Structure 1
Amino acid sequence: MKGIIFTEFLELVEEKFGLELLDEVLDMSEDEGIYTSVGSYDHKNLVRLIINLSKKTEIDATTLQRVFGQTVFKNLLASLPNQASLNHSSTTFQFIQHVERYIHVEVKKLYPDAQPPEFHFIHTTEAELVFDYKSARCMSHVCLGLIEGCAEYHGDTISIEMIPQNDEQSVVRFNLKVES
């Protein structure tokens, strides 16, 4: 997993919960908290950080993932090169498709070791988007938060249904519908 995810997470924890709690979570996780945005790190480290933050705050880990996704959307967007930006997308659905068809392809070119999640599109109209999110990291709630952050950015009101396609939730079907 790219380091930018780790650095954004640590910054969010410090901002929302304070440096003292961040230090406690890092200690619990046996993590020094030293990440560079372009480095590659084991996603299990992030999972451990989220689980320990959940223990310290008594906030469900899936809720923490979702809030992280919502919060980090704009920062990740700002980190994209101009040719990969929202200039190619005027709606949430267009942007999600652009992520899979362009951004993930470019990420793999820049970072051959990167393993971004995959989106397999099943049904697409102006009012509905159905796709399967596939990731060995099983972090579909971060994806949910990113979608919510994207919808907020675009001013879209969208209902989102998540349907796990397997027990470990490495594949989750997202049913998105534009609400009037």
Structure 2
Amino acid sequence: MKGIIFTEFLDIIEDAFGLEVCQKMLDQASDIGVYTAVGSYDHRALVTLIVTLSKITGVSAEDLQEVYGEAVFTRLLQTLPAMTGIQQDTFNFIKKVEDHIHTEVKKLYPDATPPQFDFISETKTHMVMDYKSARCMSHVCLGLIKGCAKHFGQTVHVTMAPLNKSKSHVRFNLDLIVE
């Protein structure tokens, strides 16, 4: 997993819970907390941090992942190369993640293994997509979707259902609420 995920996680935790809680999380997880944005790290270290933070704060690990995903969306967006010609809305952006963003990430970081998105169906107001990742962090994906909708000023109702026991394959149903 790319280091930017770790560095942003630590920044968001410090902003949300304070330096003391962030340090307590690192200490209890036996993690020195030294990450570089361009480094590569085992995703299990992030899972350990999330589980530890959950124990400290009493907030579920799934909720922490979702909040993190939503908060990190804008930060990650700023690191992306320009995507000219992309219609600026939630569904179009999400479709470009697989074709454009993940492709660029793999070019920049050949060892990267981003999640895979498979698009099952789409209308103007409904999208069904499958998330596949050995990291099983679908709640981060849920948060990223919510962050994306917020960024584009849209309201999207999202449901998710695991398609296997490990939750490495999850189906998302997105409904754009048109007012």
What is the TM-score normalised by the length of structure 1? 0.96
| 2:60 aligned partner, one-letter code | D
| 2:66 aligned partner, one-letter code | R
Q: Give the CA deviation at 1:156.
A: 1.1
1:90 aligns with 2:88: yes
Q: Give the CA deviation at 1:26.
A: 0.5
| 2:54 aligned partner, one-letter code | S
Q: Distance in 1 between matches of 2:160 and 2:71?
A: 20
Alignment correspondent of 2:5: 5
Alignment correspondent of 1:144: 142
What is the TM-score normalised by the length of structure 2? 0.97
Alignment correspondent of 1:164: 162
Q: Give the CA deviation at 1:175.
A: 0.5
Alignment correspondent of 2:171: 173
| 1:64 aligned partner, one-letter code | L
- Deviation track 1:130-155 (CA, whole Å, cap 9, x = no partner) reads 01000000000000000000001111
- Deviation track 1:4-51 (CA, whole Å, cap 9, x = no partner) reads 000000001111111111111101111110000010000000000000
| 1:38 aligned partner, one-letter code | V
Alignment correspondent of 2:62: 62
Alignment correspondent of 1:14: 14
Structure 2 unpaired stretches of 5+ = none
| 2:104 aligned partner, one-letter code | E
Q: Give the CA deviation at 1:161.
A: 0.9
Alignment correspondent of 2:34: 34
| 1:119 aligned partner, one-letter code | F
- Whether the 8 Å CA contact 1:89–1:98 is kept in 2: the answer is no
Q: Across the two proteins, how many residue pairs are aligned to each other?
A: 178
Which has the larger helix fraction?
A: 1
- Deviation track 1:61-119 (CA, whole Å, cap 9, x = no partner) reads 1000000001000000001122x37x513110000000101110111111110000000
Residue identity over aligned pairs, in percent, reads 56
- Whether the 8 Å CA contact 1:160–1:176 is kept in 2: the answer is yes
| 1:179 aligned partner, one-letter code | I
Alignment correspondent of 1:74: 74
Q: Distance in 2 between matches of 1:116 and 1:161?
A: 22
- Whether the 8 Å CA contact 1:2–1:40 is kept in 2: the answer is yes
Q: Distance in 2 between matches of 1:120 and 1:89?
A: 20
Structure 1 unpaired stretches of 5+ = none
SS at match of 1:119: strand
**Aligned residues: CA RMSD:** 1.0
